[in-house]
Structure 1
Amino acid sequence: MVRLLALADSFTQHNDQLARLQPAYGATWGHTSAQVLVSACLEAVQAIVDQPMYAGVTLTEATLRIKQLAVLTGQAVRHLAEAKAQLGAPASPSDPPTRSEEVARQIQLARELTALAPAMALESASAVASEIHRRRPATTTRNDALTPAERTALHATARGHIVIGRREGHEFVHSRGNSVRIDTLRALEHAGLIAIEPGSAPPAFGGGPPHDRVRLTLSGATAVTAFLGRGPRTPEPSVPRALGAHTAAPPARAH
């Protein structure tokens, strides 16, 4: 499951960079990055297949979802390759505006193909987790120390839905879906479950300041696996409870 959460995180980073980089650099960087992600998807598929469990409907669907993600990412590779080819073609006085537009169009198509990738990887992780939890007796985990607000924040972070911005000197959280409070994130950061990377996410509008991306650490990804696939999350309370301090771990990465 941690591998699938790392895959979701890798796609979030890929999408952030592709949105932030100038086309001339983004096409080349994105092409290489997307190729790596195709391989990561195929490795994740094999990891699911290697699970010592009966391959029922749930695991089969989890596998198919990642295979579909590999196909979509492969299509993104082709669009980015076309953008690279356009950039590398000999220039002529009449070409630049049209060529620039085509490069931007190809990059945009590639971005659209992987836009939902973090959520798809998380859905597969949830499916695998539900099977594991169903086949094993319930155990007490560190997850018991997390509040509903903290679990909501970690889940949204895993989906690539959390960034932090600033307005008039004040921090604010931008989250798609569930509301997440800045003090909840700071508690999770203090506990070593998330890392906040300044300026790594695209701005909310053209020419605006970049946002800070919130990512799971390895400890955070492990914490998410403890409650992933266990059914609906409890609604978030208005005031989250602080966590105790833990040693921070680096952001989760695929192996």
Structure 2
Amino acid sequence: MTTPPGDSLLFEVAAPPTPVERLLRLAGQYVQHNDTLDRLLRADSPSGPDAHTASAQQLASATRAAVKALTDERLFASRELSDAVVRLQQLAFLSDASIGQPLATARMLTALAPAAAMHCADTLALELRRRRRNATDAPTHQLAATHRTALWEIGCGNVVATSSQGRHYVHCLDEHVPIGTLRALETSGLAERDPKSAPSAYQAGPLQDRILLTSVGTTALAAVICSPSAPSTTAAPAATATKRTARSR
């Protein structure tokens, strides 16, 4: 029996996500979970109370895994970081609590989860940056401020897209994301659409395209999150959504 060459044993292995990337991905999972609940709530035929059970269980597990990844960093237990851990533990509890609840109640319990996960990612990134402030080998990343803002809004689940009579629109809950910026992010592989997955803008209206971060977009945002020119993310997520705005090309 011959031993195969050493090169034949080598293969590409994807690097595990960083704790910040894990939190950004978690936010995206909550966005998609909430979109699913919204579609079920707007369906003509009512769904059973267990329609979202598997998704909620997966989210609770993913959130607890994110807490472990954060605590494994063994960072200085600042008040901000301690609050972030508590917030994530609350998200896991709320995801578990939503199982078996009526859809409307389940949707309410995870309504603020995407923004909360994003703000926890921002807090963790700040703590990591403080710890590595004197590192000489810290990588540098270039990302336009408008792109950075757009990626943050997308991560929070604030951006959807629609089209009507040949015109394309971007609908935002907070910061304005120009359609040109969205197209640039899609072209560069930083953002992608999940067609007809987001709830309609009005009763009985058509489903909208949810804009999501790609894995590349998640990595790019994780690298620049909480940098001086990034959008302000220190405030806690608002309890109520801001007014929706639409922009056309």
Please state whether the residue corresponding to 1:156 is helix, strand or coil. Answer: helix
| C-alpha separation in 2, matches of 1:211 and 1:234 | 26
Residue 9 of structure 1 pairs with residue 28 of structure 2: yes
Aligned-residue offset at 1:58: 2.5
| C-alpha separation in 1, matches of 2:89 and 2:200 | 31
Post-superposition Cα deviations, 1:178-218, rounded to whole Å, max 9, x if no partner, equal 11111101101111111111111111112111100110011
CA contact (8 A) 1:18 1:26 kept: no
Amino acid at match of 1:76: S
Change beyond 3 A, Cα 1:30–1:179: same
CA contact (8 A) 1:154 1:216 kept: yes
| C-alpha separation in 2, matches of 1:124 and 1:134 | 15
Equivalent position of 2:128 in the other structure: 132
2:177 is aligned, of 169, 180, 191, to: 180
Residue 45 of structure 1 pairs with residue 67 of structure 2: yes
Amino acid at match of 2:164: R
Equivalent position of 2:114 in the other structure: 118
| C-alpha separation in 2, matches of 1:215 and 1:141 | 24
Amino acid at match of 2:62: A
Please state whether the residue corresponding to 1:28 is helix, strand or coil. Answer: coil
Change beyond 3 A, Cα 1:65–1:232: farther
Identity %: 41
Change beyond 3 A, Cα 1:60–1:187: same
Equivalent position of 2:39 in the other structure: 20
Please state whether the residue corresponding to 1:153 is helix, strand or coil. Answer: helix
Detail structure 1 runs of 4+ shifted over 6 Å in the superposition: none
Structure with higher helix content? 1
| C-alpha separation in 2, matches of 1:12 and 1:173 | 17
TM-score, normalised to structure 2's length?
Answer: 0.78
Aligned length: 207
Post-superposition Cα deviations, 1:47-105, rounded to whole Å, max 9, x if no partner, equal 111014223222211111101111222221141xxxxxxxxxxxxxxxxxxxxxxxxxx
Change beyond 3 A, Cα 1:234–1:4: closer
Q: How does 1:21-170 map to 2 (within 5 A)?
A: 21=40, 22=43, 24-25=46-47, 27-79=49-101, 106-137=102-133, 139-142=138-141, 144=142, 146-170=143-167
Root-mean-square deviation (CA, aligned residues, Å) is: 1.8
CA contact (8 A) 1:17 1:26 kept: no
| C-alpha separation in 1, matches of 2:140 and 2:205 | 42
Equivalent position of 2:218 in the other structure: 221
Equivalent position of 2:230 in the other structure: 233
Which 5+ residue runs of structure 1 have no aligned equivalent? 80-105, 236-255
CA contact (8 A) 2:118 2:156 kept: yes
| C-alpha separation in 2, matches of 1:32 and 1:26 | 13
